[in-house]
Amino acid sequence: MNDDELEVIVERSAGIDVHKDMVAVTVRVPGPDGSILKQQAEFATFTDDLCALRDWLVALGVARVGMEGTGVYWKPVFYVLEEELECWLLNARHMHNVPGRKDRHG
C-alpha cells in the first residue's frame, strides 16, 4: 500500500457553513459505543460569539475544521479559530462529498 492509498480519518471534526450574520456548525465526535455523534449549533458572527464557537469546539476536542463560505465572511471566523484548530477553507464543490454533509435530499 502506498501513501496515495491511505485514507486519513479525523475522529473529531467540524464543518462550518459561513454566512454574513451567522455560522452553522456540525461537529462529529465518537460516541461511547464507537458510533459517530453529531452536534449542531449556530453562532452569530460577532467576535464574542466566534470566541464562544472556538471554545465549544476546543471543549469537544475537535482537531480539524472545514469551512465553506463565500466572499470575505469566512475571514473573521478563520482568524478566531486558527490559533487553536487546524482550519481548512473549502470550496462548496469540495464540501459536497464530505461524509456526513447534508445533500439536497436530506
Q: Which domains does the chain have, with CATH numbers?
A: 3-95 (3.30.420.40)
pLDDT single digits (tens) 38-88: 999 999 999 999 999 999 999 999 989 999 877 899 999 999 999 999 999
Quote the pLDDT of residue 70. Answer: 75
d(CA 79, CA 46): 13
Quote the pLDDT of residue 34. Answer: 85
Does the pLDDT value for residue 103 go beyond 50? no
d(CA 106, CA 101): 9
